[in-house]
Amino acid sequence: MNDVLKDLSSEFYPYAQQRLGFNKPANIEYLDDPQNAQDPLGKTAYYDPTSFTVSLYTSGRHPKDILRSLSHELVHHAQNCRGEFEGGLVASEGYAQEDDHLRSMEKEAYEQGNLVFRDWEDKRKSNKDEGAIMEHFDIRRVKLNKQLMDKFGYKVPEEPKPEDSETTKTKEKKK
């Protein structure tokens, strides 16, 4: 697993926990499985409700795709914390098509998982963009201020040097 994915996962997890409201920590494991990555319909992730573990397949996948899978599986974790996995539900082939309860759980995981991830991503991008925009405006403000000062013949006051401080001047006067 690369550092970017690890950092983004660590940043996303508390946001997802707050939004989804789960009260028990989830274990997250990253699986490197090159053979699975070769299968166009290979596994992407799964949740084990008995160990509270989200397993994410990472080989050959974009970090954003892995984070989306994490979000989906954290919805299943929230469902487990709410008691919806009681009764020893087994997810076998076709489970989401054959069992109405599991179908509704999958529907929630797809919908909420995507929305939580999208909201986090948009919030993260807007905060990042906001910082860049503010930095741009600060640079423009300083340049404009200097141009106006020059145009009207004002000099920008120089920053006082440490030896020009009030304490230094007071000491010199006392001598």
Domain that holds residue 70: 3-123
Q: Which of 32-36, 129-133, 163-167 has the lowest mean pLDDT?
A: 163-167
State the pTM of this model: 0.69
How many folded domains does the chain comprise?
1
Measured over the CA atoms of residue 92, residue 47, residue 119 and residue 123, the dihedral's sign is negative
Q: List Cβ neighbours of 155 (8 Å cut-off, separation of 6 or more).
A: 149
Residue 8 forms part of a structural domain: yes
Distance from chain centroid for Cα 163: 47
Angle between helix axes 63-81 and 100-151 (nearest 10 degrees) is 130
Tokens of residue 70, six digits: 């994490």
Q: Residue 172 falls within a domain, yes or no? A: no
Q: What is the pLDDT of residues 31-84, one digit of tens each?
A: 999 998 999 999 999 999 999 999 999 999 999 999 999 999 999 999 999 998
Number of H helices, E strands in the chain: 6, 3
Amino acid 166: pLDDT: 46
pLDDT in tens, 86-127: 765 556 565 555 667 778 888 999 999 999 999 999 999 888
| Domain CATH code at residue 10 | 3.30.2010
141 inside domain: no
